[in-house]
Amino acid sequence: MRIAFLTAPEGVEQVEPTDPWQAAAEAGHEPVLVSTRSGEIQAFDHLDRADTFRVDEVVGEAAADSFGGLVLPGGVTNPDFLRTDPRAAAFVRAFFEQDRPVAAICHAPWTLVEADVVRGRELTSWPSLRTDVRNAGGTWVDEQVKICDHGPNKLVTSRRPDDLKAFCAAFLDVFTEEAG
């Protein structure tokens, strides 16, 4: 299965795409880095610059229906930038409209809020997003991983980098089940 990893050009917390990427690749999936512009993205280790990664496809040119699922890594700046880009919000919304599974960690649910896909769903995130999730019509829970199937597709969310092992296991189970 091709899995889109959507990030902004800067600000993604490095372990949040790299650990799920590696887990997806090891499980036989094809991870694809999608961003709002071509070239490279700049990852961060908290506030320090970390590695750069080559963009495979650009939002606006990439089609959600060419992917089996979507992973939204966090970091504070990454989803804050993505939620201001209408093409990114439309790309995310398309996965929900096409009944494809989505996984989001840490601050990434900000992008879900902007895509208007949170209403009626239960999810977790970095704790500071609790009010945003509730204001968007979702139910926020403080759990390591939350799998929500209160809509046409399954949504897997997780709180923070410390939850990555559980997040990877959960989203891979859901994505494999949905592809089955």
Q: What is the pLDDT of residues 61-97, one digit of tens each?
A: 999 999 999 999 999 999 999 999 999 999 999 999 9
Write down the mean pLDDT value for the chain.
96
Instruction: Please give the distance of CA 170 from its chain centroid, rounded to a whole number.
Output: 13
Rounded distance, CA 14 to CA 65, Å?
Answer: 26
- Annotated catalytic residues are 106-107
Q: Locate tokens 């089955």: which residue?
A: 180
What are the sequence ranges of the domains in the chain? 2-179
Architecture of domain 2-179: 3-Layer(aba) Sandwich (3.40)
Rounded distance, CA 167 to CA 105, Å?
Answer: 8
pLDDT band at 178 (very low <50, low <70, confident <90, very high): confident
pLDDT band at 180 (very low <50, low <70, confident <90, very high): confident
